[in-house]
């Protein structure tokens, strides 16, 4: 863990463990302890980190540019979103239709 971060602690009042647990979870999430643990689980090369930061900066800049064009009244500027994945239907498909009559 980073030396600057303080440990998360919670006091239990009136035996209400559920509320204390909820506060503890929120404190852990806000202090980014779990995120740092996940990051340290696997090694990421510095080049990969820089590449991801650069890609994120490019995406943010493109987003700001498109939003600016939309505000200025450009009707052809559109936001690009990821395509939604189709859900598989639960109905079984019959491959052998000739046997059914």
Q: Write down the pLDDT at residue 99.
A: 59
Q: Write down the pLDDT at residue 2.
A: 52
Alpha carbons 5 and 1: distance in angstroms, whole number? 8
Q: Write down the pLDDT at residue 92.
A: 67
Q: For residue 6, which of 24, 26, 33 has the smallest C-alpha distance?
A: 33
Q: Write down the pLDDT at residue 95.
A: 63
Reported pTM: 0.48
Residues 37-86: pLDDT tens digits?
888 999 999 999 999 999 999 999 999 998 898 888 877 777 666 677 77
Structure tokens at 83: 């395509």
> What three-state secondary structure class fits 58?
helix
Q: Write down the pLDDT at residue 18.
A: 93
Percent of the chain with pLDDT over 90: 36
Q: Write down the pLDDT at residue 89.
A: 73
Alpha helices in 1-101, H assignment, sequence order: 17-31, 33-41, 46-71
Q: Write down the pLDDT at residue 4.
A: 63
């Amino acid at each position: 863990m980073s030396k600057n971060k303080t440990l998360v602690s919670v006091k239990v009042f009136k035996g209400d463990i559920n509320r204390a647990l909820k506060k503890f979870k929120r404190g852990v999430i806000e202090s980014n302890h779990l995120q740092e643990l996940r990051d340290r689980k696997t090694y990421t090369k510095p080049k990969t980190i820089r590449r991801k930061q650069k890609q994120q900066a490019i995406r943010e800049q493109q987003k700001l540019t498109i939003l600016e064009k939309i505000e200025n009244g450009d009707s052809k500027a559109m936001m690009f979103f990821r395509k939604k994945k189709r859900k598989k239907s639960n109905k079984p498909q019959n491959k052998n239709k000739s046997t059914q009559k």
